[in-house]
Amino acid sequence: MLLKCVILDVLFTLVILPLEPTGAPQTVTVRVTSSRSISVSWDPVIVDDRNGIVKGYKVNYQALPNEPSNAPQAVTVSATSSRSISVSWDPVVADDRNGIIRGYIVSYQALPNGHLVAKILNITNEEQNNRQTVTLAGLNEFTNYSIGVLAFTIFGNGPASVGQVVETLEDKPSGAPQAVTVNVTSSRGISVSWDPVVADDRNGIIKGYILHLALRIIVFKNRRRNKGN
Ligand SMILES: *[C@@H]1O[C@H](CO)[C@@H](O)[C@H](O)[C@H]1NC(C)=O
Ligand SMILES: *[C@@H]1O[C@H](CO)[C@@H](O)[C@H](O)[C@H]1NC(C)=O
Ligand SMILES: *[C@@H]1O[C@H](CO)[C@@H](O)[C@H](O)[C@H]1NC(C)=O
């Protein structure tokens, strides 16, 4: 096998042109100055790397996608029945979305100490600017609920709106009065007393009671039947 080695002689021509700086500015520091501004400072390019007179600097920056930095706006809550509440809101303002809003979480809690429940609403890209409404169902009658809404991107959840309190509507009681007792007080009178319906079963403010009296007539039959043929 033959190995071929070729040596090329190349001629260089040296031309001196104004060049770009060959080094970057030094000790760049970035400081957050408010929720919506940052300050950037730096030392000059070192003299040897300037390759001429530096005429200016260009600061490149890019907002990275993140979770929303604000809550949905104009949240309204209203009871639609004794067991449901309607919740509506406007989107997070565009500057505070920090990405595509993927959906909302409505969290609610029966006061004073119910469990916190979260309802998720996914939205599409086309719905970014729409006012949204959800109905919370299966709630307790005549109960205060505290309700908040937050928006999320794929990076996480934004802050929730300030909790708003609304009371579900009243309904008829779901339990009877307790410990009913009846005493005969005379040949023509009886007295009846009872304890209230238990608080959880009242479902509203009790306005009164209705007593049902049934007259039971007992007829004694004492006529004898003749058994003879
Ligand atoms: C919302 O989207 C998530 C992720 O795609 C999915 O797991 C979830 O079931 C959806 N929820 C509803 C209520 O559609
Ligand atoms: C709801 O809260 C308000 C204000 O604290 C209170 O006056 C009202 O009685 C509460 N409603 C119920 C059903 O507990
Ligand atoms: C019925 O009589 C009992 C015994 O005297 C008494 O304790 C109770 O309060 C009476 N109930 C009514 C409804 O009068």
Q: Provide the pLDDT for residue 65.
A: 79
Domain ranges of the chain: 11-54, 76-167
Q: Provide the pLDDT for residue 76.
A: 98
Of ligand 3's listed atoms, the one at least distance from the Cα of 182 is 13
Q: Is ligand 3 within 6 A of the CB of residue 185?
A: no
Exposure of 159 in the CB half-sphere (CA atoms within 13 A): 9
Q: Provide the pLDDT for residue 62.
A: 77
Task: Single out the residue of 199, 110, 216 nearest to residue 163, CA to CA.
Answer: 110
DSSP secondary structure code for residue 20 in this structure: -
CA 17 – CA 20 distance, rounded (Å): 10
In the reported structure, the alpha carbon of residue 180 is separated from the centroid of ligand 3 by a whole-number distance in angstroms of 11
Q: Provide the pLDDT for residue 5.
A: 46
- Residue 90 has a CB neighbour count (10 Å cut-off) of 14
Q: Provide the pLDDT for residue 10.
A: 52
CA 213 – CA 191 distance, rounded (Å): 12
Strands (E), 67-223: 73-79, 85-90, 103-110, 116-122, 132-136, 144-153, 156-157, 164-167, 178-186, 189-195
- β-sheet bridge partners, residue 31: 39
pTM: 0.71
In the reported structure, the alpha carbon of residue 177 is separated from the centroid of ligand 3 by a whole-number distance in angstroms of 17
Q: Whose CA is nearest to atom 8 of ligand 2?
A: 144
In the reported structure, the alpha carbon of residue 47 is separated from the centroid of ligand 1 by a whole-number distance in angstroms of 58
- β-sheet bridge partners, residue 118: 107
CATH class of 76-167: mainly beta
Q: Whose CA is nearest to atom 1 of ligand 1?
A: 122
Residue 39, classed as helix, strand or coil, is strand
Q: Provide the pLDDT for residue 214.
A: 84
Residue type (1 letter), 33: T
The pLDDT tens digits along the chain (229 residues) read 444 544 555 555 555 566 789 988 999 999 988 767 889 999 999 999 998 888 888 888 877 778 999 999 999 999 999 999 999 999 999 999 999 999 999 999 999 999 999 999 999 999 999 999 999 999 999 999 999 999 999 999 999 999 999 999 999 999 999 999 999 999 999 999 999 999 999 999 999 999 988 888 878 877 666 655 5
Q: Provide the pLDDT for residue 61.
A: 82
Q: Whose CA is nearest to atom 6 of ligand 3?
A: 183
Q: Provide the pLDDT for residue 13.
A: 57
Task: Single out the residue of 69, 28, 64 nearest to residue 159, CA to CA.
Answer: 69
CA 220 – CA 33 distance, rounded (Å): 98
Given a contact cutoff of 8 angstroms between Cβ atoms, the answer to whether 153 and 98 are in contact is yes
